[in-house]
Chain A
Amino acid sequence: MDKRLLKDVLAERFMLLLTIFAGLIVFVMAIGLYQRSRPILAIKSLSELLFSTSWHPLRKEFGFLPFIMGSLWVTGVAVIIAIPLCLLTAIFLSEYAPRYVREWTKPLIDLLAGIPSVVYGVWGVLVIIPLIKDYIAPFFGTFSSGYSVLAGGIVLAIMVFPIIIHVSLEVFRTVPYEIREASLSLGATKWQTIKHVVIRKAMPGIIAAIVLGVSRAFGETMAVLMVAGNVAKVPSSVLEPAYPLPALIANNYGEMLSVPLYDSALLLACLILLLVVLFFNVIARVVLIRVERSIK
Chain B
Amino acid sequence: MPLQLQPNLAEPGQRYFRDFTPGDDFYEALIETHRDLSDGQSQLLNAKLILVLANQVGDIGALKQALAIARQGV
Whether A associates with B in a native complex is no
